[in-house]
Amino acid sequence: MINVRIGTFETNSSSTHSLVVMTKSQYAKWAEDERNCLKLSNECFYPPEEVQILTYEDIVEKYKQIFPDREVTEERVNNFASRNYLPFYDHDYGIEGEFGDYKIISIYLND
């Protein structure tokens, strides 16, 4: 195994697995509403101070910006969110542990 990206654990698996480290307060904000999402990317490493949490209302606004002519429905917004962000209700991840004031989450990204 080699380290390709700084701060990212990678395997030679055909799927993408990442570790996300966030503060417990960030985790609490994410979990506050099960529709809240994490903004993640396969291309970058985000240290805890750069983890972005989008509320459901943020997601609705982004959907409206991208699809201004489409009717906004909960199904469409949820579908958009699950393709572009990591919703709290998505169970392709698991909490692996805690370290001090941080939560460590293992994520499977199937992009």
Confidence of residue 41 (pLDDT cuts 50, 70, 90): low
> Residue 50 belongs to what H/E stretch?
none
Q: Which residue has the higher pLDDT, 13 or 33?
A: 33
pLDDT in tens, 19-37: 778 899 998 999 898 899 8
Confidence of residue 7 (pLDDT cuts 50, 70, 90): low
Q: For the chain, give every domain's residue range.
A: 16-109
- Strand segments, DSSP code E, in the chain are 16-23, 37-39, 52-54, 86-87, 93-99, 102-109
* Neighbouring residues of 108: CB distance < 8 A, sequence distance ≥ 6: 15, 16, 17, 92, 93
pLDDT in tens, 47-100: 788 788 999 999 999 999 999 999 999 999 999 988 888 888 765 666 678 888
